[in-house]
Amino acid sequence: MQSFLHSLGESITPVLKNSKFKETGVLTPEEFVAAGDFLVYKCPTWSWASGEETKRRQYLPADKQYLVTKNVPCYQRVKNVEDIKHDEVDVEDEGGDGWVDTFHSRVATTQLEAELKDMTLNDTVRIQPIEVADDDSDDDSDDVPDMDDFEDDNLQEDEESVVRPKEEDNILKTRTYDIYMTYDKYYQTPRMWLYGYDEHGRPLSERAMFEDFSQDHARKTVTMESHPHINLTMASIHPCKHANVMKRIIDNIAGQGREDLPVYMYLMIFLKFVASVIPTIEYDYTRQTEM
């Protein structure tokens, strides 16, 4: 029912034409594409996808319908993370329904400011050359041992000295997630979708996926819904609060006397504040790039 009502709302909501990013924290489709291009440029783990032709939105380029990154590791369950709520900050003030631990606990303000200062569309990424040893070099060649000099008995392992794995319950079970970001026409913000797999590559059940979501947000901010471009039901972080949180971040930056946050940085910041919802999924590769 929720998905049906949302689809109905999208169908009657006009496409946002004029930028209201600074005023309300929302995006036009063109701004979403610009922010997506910048994210792909800075973080090549992300890429654009076209999705199914019958599900494409006409207000987005055919080859840039949504963003995706796959095989993102999730090393542990949320319940096993100690001090997960350390230094929580309530971004929304109204009735305690706001986002907690969204911006301050995951990314220090000073680090974010450094990233905002250095990340511009006109920057050129400097690739550090990799030093490869010259195969023709004779340096230290006399020090290389001849493997034929080793006796077979030196290669035999004492069976009792072999380190064997502990019981299966103590083995780290790494899950992976495919993460998608779409443009939500109704809320005029990005929307995140997640689809998980166990250590054997099998799809996770709904119950298992919710083990990797903050319990403050599970089944409230995070719900199971149909992906708008793929015929799959996925976990989705509901976008109803996204614009309010982004507006507060914009205002905080302006209050510090800094230059206005450029709109193409939107998704870089978005990925950081939604980390509170999925704190153990290691998707944030938006580290500062050396320029």
Question: CA-CA distance, 186 to 14, in Å (whole number)?
Answer: 8
Question: CA-CA distance, 272 to 113, in Å (whole number)?
Answer: 13
Helix 266-273 with 29-42: angle, nearest 10 deg:
80
Is residue 195 within 8 A of residue 230, CB to CB? The reply is no
Q: Could you list the beta-strand ranges (E) of 188-285.
A: 189-197, 222-226, 233-237
HEC-encoded secondary structure of 255-269:
HCCCCCCCHHHHHHH
Q: Quote the tokens at residue 239.
A: 């976008």
Active-site residue 240, yes or no?
A: yes
Active-site residue (options: 62, 232, 240, 291)? 240
Q: Which residues are catalytic?
A: 240
